[in-house]
Homo-oligomer: A and B are copies of this chain.
Amino acid sequence: MIDRDPVLSILDSPFARKLSAFVRLSHSDLAVMSDVYRRRRSFAVGVDMIHQGQTDQSAYVLASGWACSYKILPGGTRQIVDFQVPGDFLGLRSVLFRTSDHNVEPITPVQASEVKQRDLLAAFTATPRLATAVLWAASRDEAMVVEHLVDLGRRTASERMAHFLLELGARLRLVGMADRAGFACPLSQYLLADALGLSAVHVNRVLRELREDGLVTFQKGRVVFDDYEALVEFTAFDRAYLDHEGPLLI
Contact = CB atoms under 8 A, between A and B. Distances in A.
A244 B142 CA distance: 19
Interface stretch (A2-10, A144-152, A220-228): A144-152
A139 interface: yes
A147 to B, nearest CB: 8
A214 interface: no
A98 B22 CA distance: 14
A128 B75 CA distance: 42
* Copies of this polypeptide in the complex: 2
Contacts of A55: 245
Contact of A152 (B152, B246, B247): B152
Given A135-B96, A139-B97, A154-B79, A102 B249 contact: no
A129 interface: no
Give the size range of A's interface with the partner.
Answer: 35 or more
B73 A154 contact: yes
Given A73-B154, A121-B249, A98 B149 contact: no
28 contacts: A53-B240, A71-B146, A71-B150, A73-B155, A77-B154, A79-B153, A81-B150, A93-B139, A96-B135, A96-B247, A97-B139, A97-B244, A97-B245, A97-B248, A98-B245, A98-B246, A98-B247, A98-B248, A99-B244, A99-B245, A101-B240, A117-B248, A121-B249, A142-B142, A148-B149, A149-B152, A153-B197, A154-B197
